[in-house]
Chains A and B, each alone.
Chain A
Amino acid sequence: MRPARVIAIARRDLALELSGRRGWILPLILVGLLAPTTVARVPLPRAPQPVSLRVRGEVPQAVQALEFVQDDDRPQLDFRRDDGVLIVRANGIRDDVRAALDGEAPALQVKRAIRPIRLPGRTLLFALISASTLTGAVSSSMAGERAAGTLVGLLAAAVTRLEVVAGKWLAWGGLGALASVLAACSAMAMGRVTPGWWLLPLPVVAPATVALGFWLVRRATDVVTGTTVSLRVLPAVLSITGLGAWFLGRVDPLLGASVPLGGALVAAGGTWDGLLAPLVALCSSMALSLACLWMTARDLEDAPREAPPGRTLRAASVTTALAAGVWWLPILSPILWGAAGNPTLTDDLPRAAGVVAGGLGLALLALSGAASTPSILQALGLKRSPDVRWIAGGVFAGVVLALVPVSGWAALPVSPSWAAVVERLGAASGGLALSGAGSTAALLGQELFFRGWVQHRWGPLAAVLAYVVVITPLDPLAGLLVGGVSTGLVHGGRCGVWPALAAHATWTVLCLL
């Protein structure tokens, strides 16, 4: 590693972004966001306001004597006597009420053992703002340069890849570190914050975020992709590692500080006293930075290629699994409320909404897959014009399917815990107990995905099997019948997905009627 070359690359990167008529915008945004955070005075916390207490029934004198107690028909505390014992019906009892009820000699004492919570201070914002503002620069420095064809010049120059990555990191990580340190110095000069060991990890947050960002976008070939990736992942990583570090820090500050990135972020907020925790935070984030830089340099190429979309069994299986997740998640998840202790929500949540989400998800999945083909409409089976004879055949098939009891869900011997699953999947696949919106979404989503995309890509057999696995896993015979008929209509008619749509629409309408 030759420092002169690293610095030269860093200067080049900064010059590319910060020169010209628009070069001042990024520094201005940094200043604009950091200045108010630095200057603003933190308002003093207000004294807690007294809260009234609504009571009813045989309210003891000691409780009546408390401040802000009022009789009310919608009580928070409902007092009654049962065999001489005072029963307090409540959702929660305040400690002052409990003390009043207990008197001098309580039979049971209820005590609290709360570990004091120390939240990060405003100095955390200096690190956070500096790091987040550089999201665009990170993407443009790596993906943007690749797309613009300027990265190849760097890679072909007499510098190692590690020097290229280190130079870029020095430019943007350095800018972020400088901004956060300047903000901290200004705040200290104005007496808004006091100096402390938090200054130690403060300058490493932005460089660590930049290093992680480089690693995330190392294969991105254009700036839209790169920025979208850094935009979705970096805030999540900062939040998750920050929260993780804070929670772990409540057990032991050193444990929290050892979380890369999050530890430095929380330590920069002055959350932990002493030198050791900020020092560990600094080291863990620097280690993350170095690891990311090394991995980025290892993978850095001028034109990385994405693997071509597979036509294999594995690709079909992954697609089917994804479709199952998209379909089952909104339809079956409400059951979990009941399992977690709230059956009311499971009963209340509208089933049709799950089918709308599932249908929309399948349609978007089909669209995403079809986008990789030369013609989206053809891949979805919508390109060919409908053939009236086959449409009529589809309607006839729909009538037959509606008359045949294809859904044998209720007859299946299942345990009670599976009954809800069976019932919900059955309702969703059969179009029963659903609204018009749910049926329409299911109709479009299923036909575009199974009879459109899967059949176009992997053939009719795969379409039938995928339909059975995703839509009717607990009633495979019904799935084979419905899926087989619909797939046969599309395969035989050679006029796109229209006959299957007609069959499904007819069948759904008859079921709803």
Chain B
Amino acid sequence: MRRTARALVELVAVLVRRLLREGMVRRSLLWPTALTAGTLVATLIVFASLQATETVGVTRAVSAELRGVIEAAGFEPVFVSDAREAVRNGTWAAVDGQVLWTNDRGPRALQLEAALREALEAPWRPDPVVPLPQTADAAPSGAAVCRLVASLFALYGVVFGLGMVARDRDDGTLAAELALPIPRWVPGAARWIASTLLLSSFYALCVATFAAIMGLPDAAAMARHGAAACGAATAIGLVVVGRAGLKQSFAGPFATGMGMATGLIALGNTHPAVGSWLPLASVFTGGDGWAPLAGTLVAGALASAIFAVRAARE
């Protein structure tokens, strides 16, 4: 028993080390968080820099007085030859005489419309309400990003579970481990734990980052759902690898694993009531994440058992 526990700890430590020594694996683990958070930050920087000037297209038919009104409302008038065409081509608003061309239906357009109507002495004008989203409004978007990243980490889980076994089988490492005086499930369980730990840790970084920069309804639950997905996906990888190695038949089990993982995610999307109980399927559902986390432990144990049975039958 003591030897088994020691072997499990040693193998997990070595497998984590082997994975982290791969530069490409390290970059892959950081990539989803860096890409999503970086894109958000870059977008915010662009918005912040665009805050200063809001240009509005005006034709020559717009009087200097009206141009002054537009300017006084905080917009910068820019001459265009055809207001309709300018809006068709992406300008958010353009004024041609007494016609305002715009595809924007939000407060910004109402603000411009109000200024124009007041100047033209119209019998009515809008008074735009500018509702600023609160954390509660932004948090669901943060959660959506985290769910997408969790799906990607889950696919990594399939690759890790499947690839670690296939690679180690081909170079003899697995045979050397299986010839040790330890139960057969230990090498399988070690691979499951190492992959799940690593993926969950880097996913937790993503959750913490989005909790910080966008807000999340329940960051801890989100982390639990992600960890459950990573574990279940690794278990799928360990199971579907079968007796495949790298020399033959890697693509088939890989596609099967991907199909199973994405199928479970889709199940959660279409049947949230069922999905919230299952790891992987719970990624796109609500819930506190404890049930999927327990489910992933069962999946890990099952995968290790199947690994042991298969190892004994070779």
Contact = CB atoms under 8 A, between A and B. Distances in A.
B247 A150 contact: yes
Interface stretch (A184-192, A360-368, A390-398, A488-496): A360-368
Contacts of A139: 250
B252 A17 contact: yes
B142 to A, nearest CB: 10
Interface string A353-393: 11011101100100110011000100000000000000000
Given A16-B247, A330-B212, A224 B164 contact: yes
Interface in B91-105: 98-103, 105
B135 A22 contact: no
A25 interface: yes
A511 B17 CA distance: 36
B100 A92 contact: no
B248 A17 contact: yes
B113 A110 contact: yes
B163 A224 contact: yes
B26 interface: yes
A222 B163 contact: yes
Interface stretch (B255-263, B279-287, B303-311): B255-263
B20 interface: yes
Given A109-B100, A113-B84, A224-B167, A344 B134 contact: yes
A88 B126 contact: yes
Given A229-B28, A341-B51, A111 B205 contact: no
A119 interface: no
A11 interface: no
Contact of A25 (B106, B156, B253): B253
- Chain A contact surface mostly: helix
Contacts of A201: none
A87 B123 CA distance: 9
Nearest to B86: A113
Nearest to A227: B159
Contact of A113 (B88, B127, B245): B88
Given A229-B28, A344-B134, A111 B125 contact: no
Interface residues of B, number: 96
A333 B88 CA distance: 34
B110 interface: yes
Interface stretch (B39-47, B182-190, B268-276): B39-47
A90 B127 contact: yes
A223 B166 contact: yes
A353 B128 CA distance: 34
Contacts of A108: 98-100, 113, 116-117, 120, 122
B250 A136 contact: yes
A16 B13 CA distance: 34
A114 B251 contact: no
B41 A333 contact: yes
B201 A336 contact: no
Contacts of B256: 25, 29
B114 to A, nearest CB: 9
B292 to A, nearest CB: 22
A216 B10 CA distance: 33
Interface in A15-70: 16-17, 19-26, 29-30, 32-33
Nearest to A325: B34
A85 B124 contact: yes
| Of listed B209, B246, B247, residue having the most chain A CB within 10 A | B246
B17 A376 contact: yes
B245 A148 contact: yes
A390 to B, nearest CB: 27
Interface string B138-176: 100000000000001001100110011011001100000
Contacts of B212: 330-331, 333-334, 349-350, 353-354, 356-358
A326 to B, nearest CB: 9
B124 A227 contact: no
Assign chain A's interface to a size class.
35 or more
Contact of A342 (B21, B133, B166, B213): B133
A220 interface: yes
B25 interface: yes
Nearest to A89: B127
B298 interface: no
B42 to A, nearest CB: 10
Contacts of B250: 17, 136-137, 139-140, 144, 223
Nearest to B117: A108
A349 B215 contact: yes
B48 A336 contact: yes
B249 interface: yes
Contacts of A140: 246, 250-251, 254
A353 B211 contact: yes
B132 A344 contact: yes
A419 interface: no
B61 interface: no
Interface in B1-51: 13, 16-17, 19-26, 28, 31-32, 35, 37, 40-41, 44-45, 47-48, 51
B219 interface: yes
Contact of A225 (B25, B45, B116, B155): B25
Given A90-B129, A108-B100, A333-B213, 13 more contacts: A17-B252, A91-B128, A107-B120, A108-B116, A112-B103, A113-B85, A144-B246, A223-B166, A224-B25, A330-B213, A339-B48, A348-B134, A371-B16
Q: Nearest 3 A-B pairs (CB), nearest first?
A: A25-B252, A136-B254, A371-B20
